Structure 1
Amino acid sequence: MPILQTQVVDVLKTIYVPKLKKLLLSVGSIDSVEVNEGKVNIALRLPPLEEEVIAELKEVIEKRLLQIGAETVQCEITFKERPNIKYIIAIGSGKGGVGKSTVTTNLAVSLAQSGFRVGLLDADVYGPNIPKMFGVENELPKVSEKKKMIPIEKYGVKLISIGFLLEDSSTPVIWRGPLVSKAIEQLYEDVEWGELDFLLVDLPPSTGDIAITVAQTLPTHYGIIVTTPQDVSVLDASKALNMFKQMNIEVLGVIENMAYFICPHCGAKTEIFGAGGGEKLSFASSVPFLGQIPLEVQVREGGDAGVPTLFLEGNSEVRSAFEAIAKKMVKMLNESV
């Protein structure tokens, strides 16, 4: 019985890429499959791989297809074009509700205000808040001639989020892990980022599929951990930090958000969520402590209105904190080169 096109596709779905230990179709895609009287021609598109890995992969594909009845197998592999980005920095917390997206938003804007070319990838597929925080939740990315999405730009930051593609902000994303991982890859690879100095990736809570995809599939070299001072937050943040280390992602440092509250009426300082949790975590993990960010009503108001803290009127201790952390981060990266 002659081999069928569907059989070829079924085999490709089960093949792992050598050394990556990942399924072929989780990192790449099929451009075409042609079957003519037992002669199989395959065209695949993959991220850049070493020559020996490509050679070994072709051998595996040929062997598997010959076993099910193919007479000859021709496999053509082309590489996906990688965005031209100097630093990709994943920002995680391990726990929701610590203000990670707020921190990511304001760090991105701080870097842009300093003259850097900045992009922000909202990887929190299940709860994409970045469009709301930039006041662009009703925008829809256009498509370029290369059939890639053109990111929305606001406050000097290029933005991409699954939130732009949903029917409305209350539409839930009910996807299993493999589909979510593929979506993250597309939000990175199928976007006209242009040349960037920084791409900040806002991770969802936990150390699940999305975090693993960002760590393994994207060329992510650096990570930042956001936590509040309280023990429960620090406990989960330590898991995210250790995930970065196990994935060979250098941790630039820990940011302690909602560190304290200054009463606008009497000036009293109140440490609502405890004290020193972020600094203790950085010391215990032997990574830098990037700084504290206080709790201010204006930050919440700005987030709801789609206005980052740096663009709010009046004096703000939070604004100064973000600017200081951004400068410290840039200095560390320059010194590591």
Structure 2
Amino acid sequence: MMITEEIILRELSKIIDPDFQRDIVSLGFVQDMVIDGGTVSFTIELTTPACPLSPVFQKQALDLVGDLPGVEKVLVNMTAQKREARKTDAESGLKDVKYILAVSSCKGGVGKSTVAALLARTLGARGASVGLLDADIYGPSIPTLFNLHETGVRAAPDQKFLPNEAEGIKLMSFGFLAGDGPAVLRGPMVAQYMQQLLHNVAWGELDYLIIDMPPG
């Protein structure tokens, strides 16, 4: 059997990030793949250098790809995103967003998410193209407000997340990735995941992107 990138990515998609509850391929972690005869090399770029799952992911990748017929050698380079290497608007999903509006509050339970959803609905009803980002990693509520409990997230060909849509509004929430249960995340990774949700979403052309900020 001829080894192709598609076959290798299909095997690597069996590796699941427990925080995102998605595979490392759809998250865009697998990069720089080279196939040279029976030798396969690629990079797995994680969100933080301190990720304790790095050796686990590396071993899983070595085992999965190494077991493929025709593969004689596997080289897996583990790396992490650099904090200073932030995406420009032109590289991120925000390049076609005209205005970004943030809705915040000093504490939770005061109706902040309801206001954000109402603002998005009102702007949409007036003919604007609107997106709504649920930035509350620990207590996402947008899936509940739009009755999208069973909705997951799909990936575009460029590995960006495709936002869900309801009432003509493009929606992205950690709740679509993790479900309705409480999220248990390693503290240093929260900011990195927020960068993923903000920049790694194919928002398309929007007049307004409403961000429902976490309390505090």
CA–CA distance in structure 1, aligned partners of residues 203 and 127 of structure 2: 17
Partner of 1:139: 151
Matched AA of 1:190: N
- Residues 148-182 of structure 1: CA distance to partner in whole angstroms, max 9, x if unpaired? 1110000111000010011x412x21224321111
Aligned runs of 1:262-281 on 2, under 5 Å? none
SS of 2:115's partner is helix
**1:27, 1:173 → 2: CA distance?**
27
| 2:212 equivalent in structure 1 | 202
Residue 112 (str. 1) matches residue 124 (str. 2): yes
Tell me: CA distance 1:80–1:13, structure 2 relative to 1, closer, same or farther (3 Å).
farther
Corresponding position: 1:80 with 2:91: yes
Alignment of 1:191-230 (within 5 A): 191-206=201-216
Q: Output one character per residue of 1:190-226: Cα deviation in whole Å (capped at 9) or x when no partner.
A: 11100101001001111xxxxxxxxxxxxxxxxxxxx
Please state whether the residue corresponding to 1:26 is helix, strand or coil.
coil
Deviation of 1:142 after TM superposition, in Å, equals: 1.3
Look up the match of 1:97: 109
Give percent identity, aligned residues only. 42
Cα separation, partners in 2 of 1:26 and 1:176, compared to 1, 3 Å: farther
Please tell me the residue identity of whatever aligns with 2:170: K
CA-to-aligned-CA distance 1:96-126 (integer Å, 9 cap, x gap): 1110000100110000010001000000000
In the alignment, structure 1 segments of 5+ residues that lack a partner are 1-8, 15-23, 29-45, 50-78, 207-337
CA offsets 1:1-48 (integer angstroms, 9 cap, x no match): xxxxxxxx9xx969xxxxxxxxx72353xxxxxxxxxxxxxxxxx423
Letter in 1 for 2:193: A
Distance (whole Å) between structure 1 residues aligned to residue 88 and residue 165 of structure 2: 28
Residue 101 of structure 1 aligns to a residue whose secondary structure is: helix
Structure-1-length-normalised TM-score = 0.39
For the 8 Å contact 2:93–2:200, the answer to whether it is kept is no
Residue 25 (str. 1) matches residue 35 (str. 2): no
* Alpha-carbon distance in structure 2 between the residues aligned to 1:27 and 1:130: 30
Alpha-carbon separation, structure 2, partners of 1:89 and 1:190: 18
Amino acid at match of 1:204: P
Give the corresponding residue for 1:224.
none
Give the TM-score, by structure 2 length: 0.59
Flag the structure with higher helix content.
1
Counterpart of 1:201, as a letter, is I
Is residue 2:183 matched to residue 1:190? no
Is the contact between residue 133 and residue 209 of structure 2 (CA under 8 Å) also seen in structure 1?
Answer: yes
Moved over 6 A (4+): none
Supply the RMSD in Å over aligned alpha carbons. 2.5
Aligned length: 140
Q: CA deviation at 1:141?
A: 1.7
In structure 2, relative to structure 1, the CA distance for the partners of 1:117 and 1:124 (3 Å cut) is: same
Among 165, 178, 181, the alignment partner of 2:191 is 181
Q: Is the 8 A contact 2:106 2:215 kept in 1?
A: yes
Q: Is the 8 A contact 2:92 2:200 kept in 1?
A: no
Larger relative contact order (CA 8 Å, sep ≥ 6): 2
Query: What pairs with 1:278-297 in structure 2 (closer than 5 Å)?
Result: none
